[in-house]
Structure formats: structure tokens, C-alpha cells
Structure 1
Amino acid sequence: MHCIRFLAILSALSATLLAGCGALPSLPDRPRKAVYQGETFAAEETFSRLFDANVDDTCEAARRALLSQGYVISKAGGGLVQGAKSFQPEGEVHVEIGFHVVCVSDGPKQQVATAYVSAQQDRYALKKNPQAASLGVSALGSISVPLSSTQDSLVKVASETIPAGEFYDRFFTLMQRMLRENAAEH
């Protein structure tokens, strides 16, 4: 009698486990393509633009363009400009865009320069860590009691390079305007 009940319970558990496995997502038949294989290195998708100015003026235009949009410049000089800006699109989500601009001389007299620009978007989420306190009671030992306060921290959950396209086109257009304004002042 006990053996029959045991077998009935065992078969019910087996059926439940099999039904649960059917609810799992199926694995793909083929391995996923690696991210780097999506890199096309196409000439029309560039992160660069040629400017009719020397390296110093081109990088200064990039610096001014970033400053005019609220970016905090962390490095400027030697053909390099780096800056970042923080956003909070949702309550507990924070985003930071970091710009990296490299200016390189082109042409025989180095009167033109190419600006290579790459922007990275980092996404952070708020992680709440409740704090606990230990109380020592001689008869019972140590007891941990959660307190109402928490220690919050931002944790990076995603990071990606912003793809070539309109985002960079708008930046290069602003750089060109800054170059024209700077030339008009001198």
C-alpha cells in the first residue's frame, strides 16, 4: 500500500517536473553570433569628420560644443577632448554619456584636421542595501535586527558605444558652427 502511494506521488512529481520543463524557453539550435561579427567597418558609417582648421582649433571647437550642451570637460589638450554629462530619465535609473574626441592633422601643410569622436552611454540602477544592527543579549547571544535606513549605491547595468548616425551628425554640425564663430572672433 505504501509502495503504491509512493509510486503515485513519484509519477505525479515526474509529470509536474516535465510540465515545468516544457515552460522553459527553448535553446536556439545554433550558437549566437558574437557581437564583434556585427562590425561592418563600412566607409559610410564613420565616427569622424574632416574640418577646414588646424588640430588646436578643431579640438577647441569640440570642447566648446560639449561645454555649450552642459558636458563637464575632464581633459582638453594635446589633440584630445573628453567630457561627460549625467541624466536621470527615470526615478532610479541614471545615464551618463561620455565623449572622447581625438583631433588629427591632415593635408600637406596640416591646415585641416579630422575629428574622431566616440560617445559611450553607461546606464546605472539604484541598488538598495538595508543595514542591520547586531544586539548582544547575554542569555540569547547575538541577534541581527534590520534597521529602517538603507545604504543606496549606483550599479552599472549596461554600457554601449552610441552608434554612428544622427547623434554624431548633430555634434559635428555644432562643431562646425563653433569653428565659424571662433574664426569670426579672430
Structure 2
Amino acid sequence: MLPSVVPCSVFRCVAGLAGALLLAGCAIPDAVPGLDKQGFTPNDFDSSSMYVRRMDAAQADTCEAARRALLSQGYLVQAATSEMVTARKFYQPNPDTHYTVEMRVVCAPEGDNGERSSAFASAVQDRYVIKKVNNSASLGVGGLGSVSLPFSATDDTLVKVGSETINDAQFYSRFFQLFERYVRVLPMAEESPLHEVPMQEREALQRNY
């Protein structure tokens, strides 16, 4: 005799289906973009932006202050003009992860006389991980082509896995606070150009910056 099949109640069937859906939802990784995360921040194009500051300095002086501020924090300056400064800094929190932060400051003049300017700063963080690549050795033999040898080597290579604009308000607040300090000391630097100051006084002046 075949065993009898007891039909489940409506409540039990619904509960089982809900549990299965819940487990399926929990199985979705948070790191996968586009599933439940927006590709932009709702605060984009806000009138009060953390990426811009008004400076009481001319355009060229503002960019020079930005260059000095970035240099003082260990950034490697890639390009510096009277209109824009680009610099990078590298981080390695653990042996398998590597970060690169690229900071860009654009200086725009304001007013008729150009004595004031706006500084627009943005930083992009790129994330890399170390991947191991197996390389097998091969030997070219005339008339036979290439012959694979039973030797292999493993090389480590950095693979870019993510890139994102830094939107931490505290990060930009600290940068602009340091930035404004260098803006304030620029007139002193203009009154005493470094190339006209003796070596000992020049080194002391640079330390004060």
C-alpha cells in the first residue's frame, strides 16, 4: 500500500515559501553593485557642497597653497599649474590589498579683480587586490615549434577591483582647514622669495610651511 500524502495547510505552505524567499534574499552578497544600492548619492548637486571652498587669494596662489598642503601630507604631485593640482597617495592596509587615492584641486578665479578664487576638490579611491598568475615555461625548438616544459612560476599582479569618489565630509573638511593655513602664509612667501633667502633661513622658512 502506498503511503498517504498529507496536504499541507495554507499557513504552513505560505510560511515555508516565505522562509525560502528570506534565505534567498540573505544569500545575495552586499558587494554586488546594482542589486539594492544606488549608483549615485541622493545629495548630488546639493547647493551646499563639501567639495568647494572660497579663498581670499588669487587663482595661482590658491593652487600653490593646494600643492603645498598635499605635499605636506605625503601626496606625490602628478601635475601642478595655476589652474589645477593633481596628486596621489598610496596605502597598503594588508599584504593583499592596495589603495590609491588621487586628489584633484581645480582653482577658478572670482570677481572682477581676481583677488578671490574658488577651490574645487575631489578625491577618487581605487582599490586593488593581489592576484597570483601561473606562468608555464616554454621552449622554442626549430622545426618542432614550441615545447612546454614542466616548470611553472607564480607572479603577483595588482588587479583593480573598484573605484569610487570619496564623499566623506570630514575628509574634505580637514583638507580645507590645512589648505587655508597655507593660503594665509602665501603673502609671507611672496615678500621673501626663497631664491633670495640664505640657505639656513630658507630651510627654516620651509619648515614653518
| TM-score band, normalised by shorter chain | 0.7 to 0.9
Query: Is the counterpart of residue 55 in structure 1 residue 93 in structure 2?
Result: no
- The letter of the residue matching 2:167 is P
Q: For the Cα contact (< 8 Å) 1:45–1:164, is it kept in 2?
A: no
Q: 1:145 to 1:35 in 2, by over 3 A?
A: same
* Selected match of 2:91 from 75, 80, 87: 87
SS at match of 2:69: helix
- The letter of the residue matching 1:66 is L
| Partner residue, 2:24 | 25
Q: Distance between the aligned counterparts of 1:54 and 1:66, measured in 2?
A: 19
Q: Report the Cα offset of residue 68 of structure 1.
A: 0.8
Q: Distance between the aligned counterparts of 1:76 and 1:42, measured in 2?
A: 28
| Partner residue, 1:12 | none
What is the root-mean-square deviation of aligned Cα atoms in Å? 2.6
SS at match of 1:36: coil
| Identity percentage of aligned residues | 39
Report the TM-score, using the length of structure 1 for normalisation. 0.75
Q: Report the Cα offset of residue 135 of structure 1.
A: 7.4
Report the TM-score, using the length of structure 2 for normalisation. 0.67
Deviations 1:11-31 (A, max 9, x none): xxxxxxxxxxx5962399xx7
- The letter of the residue matching 2:97 is V
Structure 2: unaligned runs, 5 residues or longer: 1-19, 29-34, 141-146, 192-209
Deviations 1:86-131 (A, max 9, x none): 1111111110100111000112211100000000011100111022
Q: Distance between the aligned counterparts of 1:37 and 1:65, measured in 2?
A: 28
- The letter of the residue matching 1:25 is A
Q: Report the Cα offset of residue 152 of structure 1.
A: 1.4
| Partner residue, 1:170 | 174
Figure out how many residues of one structure are paired with residues of the other and give that number: 158
- The letter of the residue matching 2:84 is L
Q: Which structure has the highest strand share of the two?
A: 1
Q: Distance between the aligned counterparts of 2:66 and 2:172, measured in 1?
A: 12
Deviations 1:17-54 (A, max 9, x none): xxxxx5962399xx746413634322233300000000
| Partner residue, 1:145 | 150
Q: Report the Cα offset of residue 150 of structure 1.
A: 1.2
